[in-house]
């Protein structure tokens, strides 16, 4: 006797959604709010004006918008918010999601490909959501003989390392999670962990194709790490600082460094593609040669975490290029000083900061598009050509532009007291 699956009924689907929302509201009312109220008695609360903030006053302020703004302003200036939300992990993850969506549409237009007619309405946005749900729900298969602790820990370490880079990138004046004096040095120190994580994960997979991919990633890092650092060193010579915020400020007081260091910008761009393992430098994942390289044994959310880390890393390197060569957040103020003219209440936002975030986002997204472009027009290069490019050609180019930077500083054109410094 054959059985047929139940027919989908939209009314039942809507009813299940309403029932789920109702259960969530009950849980929030009976458990969530009392728990928050208990926590407020023990958590240190900030002073608001001349008032001492108490749990009772906090709950009354949450329903009054004019009194809620001080709480929101206090929260968004905490280190937790900057690391977890903006300009840290959540902002980078949102960039990653948009990048995945745009990359699919961008490459499809370039290659004249037609997608499914009925899946993913509204330009295929639901297809992206379906892929995310698929990764979350799929079974994670661990190969037999794999080193399980490393196999499970490596994807988490990959995402954490990518998120660590984002904490060092300033997106606007004062908006950076970790504004340290050796920020650029710290970025390269963190980036050095990615090939090691790939090699560890490939070794832990106990499979020959992942291990070959891991070894390729290590060779690629060694070949491109030196020109990568030398291309950024030219910027440090002109700015006189390793602090990323100071590098942006030095460009605001003179001009964007891409005008003086175009060769360094080119070397940094090519090295970024190699660091991201994107075409034409995707040898660690070459699917036509070694299945999927060091990702061969990934499945479910292990694959999802590595992809998330890869796209967050794409955002981080694009943002770093903007900071080093494109003036960071520099740009005209395009937002009004007040959201509603004549409003005499609490200032809702800072027009200068909003404009800085806008220009930084636009520049970073433009750089991401340039990083996506080679995938649609370039073939994969051979590993001997890759090593020759990194060791011979890019290092020479980086040294040439470094000497140009020294000439600009000692010639009195840029640097402290230079002719072009305002």
DSSP symbols for 105-123: HHHHHHTT----SSSSHHH
Asked which of 206-210, 276-280, 342-346 is least confident by mean pLDDT, the reply is: 342-346
Q: Minimal CA–CA distance to 196: which of 176, 164, 219?
A: 219
Asked which of 205-209, 247-251, 261-265, 315-319 is least confident by mean pLDDT, the reply is: 205-209
pLDDT score at 66: 62
User: For residues 413 and 419, is the Cβ–Cβ distance under 8 A?
Assistant: yes
User: Binning pLDDT at 50, 70 and 90, where does residue 198 land?
Assistant: confident
Q: Which residues contact 224 (CB under 8 A, 6 or more apart)?
A: 270, 271, 274, 275, 281, 390, 394
pLDDT score at 347: 60
What is the rounded average pLDDT of the residues 380-392? 79
Question: In whole numbers, what is the pLDDT of the chain averaged over residues?
Answer: 80
Q: How far is residue 187's CA from residue 205's CA, in Å, rounded to a whole number?
A: 28
pLDDT score at 367: 92
User: Binning pLDDT at 50, 70 and 90, where does residue 118 land?
Assistant: low
User: For residues 396 and 242, is the Cβ–Cβ distance under 8 A?
Assistant: no
Q: Residue 172 has what DSSP assignment?
A: B
Q: Which residues contact 142 (CB under 8 A, 6 or more apart)?
A: 148, 151, 152
pLDDT score at 28: 81
For 187-215, give one letter per residue: b (16+ CB within 10 A) or e.
Answer: beebbebbbbbbbbbbbbbbbebbbbbbb
pLDDT score at 344: 47
Q: What is the DSSP string of 349-403?
A: --HHHHHHHHHHHHHHHHHHHHHHHHHHH-PPPPHHHHHHIIIIIIHHHHHHHHH
Sign of CA dihedral 288, 293, 299, 305: negative
pLDDT score at 324: 92
Helix or strand or coil: residue 51?
strand
Mean pLDDT highest for which of 15-19, 225-229, 297-301, 311-315?
Answer: 311-315
CB neighbour class for 371 (10 Å; exposed up to 12, middle 13-18, buried from 19): buried
Alpha-carbon Rg for the chain, nearest whole angstrom, is 25
Token pair for residue 281? 């430098």
pLDDT score at 116: 64
Q: Minimal CA–CA distance to 327: which of 366, 367, 368, 359?
A: 359
What is the rounded average pLDDT of the residues 231-245? 88
What is the rounded average pLDDT of the residues 151-170? 89
User: Binning pLDDT at 50, 70 and 90, where does residue 141 land?
Assistant: confident
Asked if pLDDT for residue 14 goes beyond 90, the answer is: no
Percent of the chain with pLDDT over 90: 9
Residue 33 or 26, more confident: 26
pLDDT score at 360: 93
Asked which of 60-74, 82-96, 386-400 is least confident by mean pLDDT, the reply is: 60-74
Q: Residue 259 has what DSSP assignment?
A: G
User: Binning pLDDT at 50, 70 and 90, where does residue 302 land?
Assistant: confident
Q: How far is residue 418's CA from residue 158's CA, in Å, rounded to a whole number?
A: 42
pLDDT score at 342: 46
Asked if pLDDT for residue 213 goes beyond 50, the answer is: yes
Q: How far is residue 319's CA from residue 169's CA, in Å, rounded to a whole number?
A: 7
pLDDT score at 388: 79
Residues 272-282: tens digit of each pLDDT = 888 888 878 77
Token pair for residue 254? 């003179």
Q: Tell me how crowded residue 27 is: count the other CB atoms within 10 A of its CB.
A: 10
pTM equals 0.81
pLDDT score at 343: 46
Helix or strand or coil: residue 45?
coil
């Amino acid at each position: 006797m054959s059985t047929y699956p139940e027919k989908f009924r939209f009314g039942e689907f809507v009813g299940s959604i309403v029932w789920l929302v109702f259960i969530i509201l009950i849980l929030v009312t009976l458990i969530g709010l009392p728990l928050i109220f208990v926590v407020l008695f023990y958590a240190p609360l900030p002073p608001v004006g001349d008032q001492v903030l108490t749990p009772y006053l906090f709950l009354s302020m949450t329903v009054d918008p004019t009194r809620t703004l001080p709480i929101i302003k206090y929260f968004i200036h905490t280190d937790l918010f900057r690391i977890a939300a903006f300009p840290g992990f959540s902002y980078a993850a949102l960039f990653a999601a948009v990048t995945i969506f745009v990359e699919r549409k961008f490459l499809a237009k370039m290659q004249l490909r037609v997608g499914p007619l009925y899946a993913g309405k509204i330009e295929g946005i639901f297809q992206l959501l379906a892929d995310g749900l698929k990764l979350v729900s799929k079974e994670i298969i661990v190969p037999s003989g794999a080193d399980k602790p490393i196999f499970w820990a490596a994807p988490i370490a990959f995402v954490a390392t990518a998120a660590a880079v984002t904490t060092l990138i300033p997106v606007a004046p004062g908006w950076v999670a970790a504004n340290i004096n050796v920020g650029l040095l710290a970025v390269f120190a963190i980036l050095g962990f990615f090939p090691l994580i790939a090699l560890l994960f490939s070794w832990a997979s106990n499979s020959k194709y992942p291990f070959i991919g891991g070894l390729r990633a290590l060779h690629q890092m060694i070949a491109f790490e030196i020109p990568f650092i030398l291309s950024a060193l030219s910027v440090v010579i002109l700015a006189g600082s390793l602090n990323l915020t100071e590098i942006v400020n030095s460009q605001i007081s003179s001009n964007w460094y891409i005008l003086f260091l175009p060769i360094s910008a080119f070397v940094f761009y090519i090295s970024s593609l190699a660091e991201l393992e994107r075409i034409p430098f995707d040898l660690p994942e070459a699917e036509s040669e070694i299945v999927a390289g060091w990702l061969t044994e990934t499945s479910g959310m292990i694959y999802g975490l590595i992809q998330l880390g890869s796209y967050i890393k794409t955002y981080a390197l694009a943002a770093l290029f903007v900071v080093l060569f494109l003036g960071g957040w520099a740009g005209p103020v395009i937002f009004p000083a007040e959201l509603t003219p004549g409003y005499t209440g609490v200032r809702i936002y800072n027009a200068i900061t909003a404009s800085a975030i806008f220009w930084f986002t636009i520049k970073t997204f433009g750089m991401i598009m340039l990083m996506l472009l080679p995938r649609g027009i370039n073939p994969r290069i051979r590993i001997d050509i890759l090593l020759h490019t990194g060791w011979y050609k890019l290092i020479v180019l980086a040294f040439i532009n470094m000497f140009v930077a020294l000439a600009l500083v000692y010639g009195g054109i840029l640097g402290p007291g230079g002719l072009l410094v305002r």
